[in-house]
Structure 1
Amino acid sequence: MRSTKLGALGATLAVAALVVSGCTAQTHEEVPMAESVIIADQWASAADAGMAAVFGTFNNTGHHDAHIVSGNSPVAERVELHEVTSDATGSKTMREKHDGFVVPAGGTRDLVPGGDHLMLMDLREPLHPGADVEVTVVFEDGSTLPITAQIRDFAGADEDYAPAHHDHG
């Protein structure tokens, strides 16, 4: 009789653990990616026209990777996610990163000069040092994270730009 009660208790505890873990996993999945990501040390390069870059460090406090797929800003026609690659000669080329940026669960993703960054394309107005610029990043699940970045003087990371070919037709 005692082993039957222990067996029943064990089965009950196992079912309870499955229910609790299932609820916990479901809760994590329902949390929008943007709610688990913060940005620190964000800043943008000054520019009179053309394009400007936004840098900083994304920190994901969540239990799942957060995937940034696009962005927008009132000061630019469009926001592109960029990477910088080197060829065999050491020449650096900046280009659009079509698969976006992943901020790993419990980790960080640095946006830095000469590396990954957000690029404000076709500026609608000059970006003057000391002012702020607003940018919003969009995650794969559609959630958004607004960013305010201080504009600073910055000459660039000495890379060439390889623009993507956009089909406007």
Structure 2
Amino acid sequence: MQNTLAGGTRRRALAAFALAGALSTLGLTGCGDSSAASGGTPAATPSAGAVAATLTVKDPWVKAAKAGTMTAAFAILVNDTGADITVVGAESTASPMELHEMTTKEGKMVMQPKEGGFVIKAKSTHELGPGGDHLMLMNPSAAIEAGDQVPFTLKLGDGTTLPFTAIAKPFAGAGESYDPGMSMPASGMPMSPMASAAP
């Protein structure tokens, strides 16, 4: 009989504890609701798929190339905002991608990954072109023929993305190559080739 009473007391104590917890939870929820009602809004977190509305890609094009041959995409990146924007990566269904730059080493132009990405200053533009910064297609799975429309997505430092499509064009330039270990005399690289690309 004593065990039965003790068991009943224990069950009642547990029930009271559970009820107190439920009331406490309801109280916390009520606080959250009143905060929202008073105008408080939770901070928005941009998703990885959010589309950037702060950067414009102007005159994008790709150097036509055979399947498996490294090539590059170019454009003028326009930042009309009051803050710097950083392009930290790029993607394409046509090929694995890297951000690259051309730099001078021992009197020759050499290609290398762009550390820190491309920074487009506030209210300015940044040119991607042969002989300078470019979007590197490391290993196209199929030939990129003149006239092809190639999809790209830029990944920005704030977590947003910017999709665009570039047209493939034949371009000889100064005979530059995008093969590994490529180098050439520094004076042989055109720095503003946009007008030289065949339509």
Query: Taking structure 1 as the reference length, what is the TM-score of the superposition?
Result: 0.71
Partner of residue 136, structure 1: 153
Partner of residue 19, structure 2: none
Superposition deviation, residue 51 in structure 1: 1.6
Question: 1: distance between equivalents of 2:181 and 2:159?
Answer: 28
**Match for 1:150: what amino acid?**
I
Contact map agreement 2:151 2:163 (CA 8 A) in 1: yes
**Match for 2:111: what amino acid?**
M
Instruction: Choose which of 142, 149, 157 in structure 2 pairs with 1:125.
Output: 142
Q: Does 1:74 align with 2:93?
A: yes
SS of aligned partner of 2:142: coil
State the identity as a percent: 38
Question: 1: distance between equivalents of 2:113 and 2:144?
Answer: 21
Long gaps (5+) in structure 1: 1-29, 164-169
Contact map agreement 1:69 1:100 (CA 8 A) in 2: yes
**Match for 1:123: what amino acid?**
P
Question: 1: distance between equivalents of 2:51 and 2:81?
Answer: 8
SS of aligned partner of 2:139: strand
Figure out how many residues of one structure are paired with residues of the other and give that number: 131
More strand by proportion, 1 or 2?
A: 1
Q: Map Cα deviations across residues 78-99 of structure 1 (whole Å, 9 max, x no partner).
A: 211110011232x110111121
Instruction: Give the alignment of 1:3-22 within 5 angstroms.
Output: none
Distance 1:106 1:33, change over 3 A: farther
Partner of residue 80, structure 2: 61
**Match for 2:78: what amino acid?**
N
Q: Map Cα deviations across residues 63-116 of structure 1 (whole Å, 9 max, x no partner).
A: 11110000110010x211110011232x11011112100011111000011000
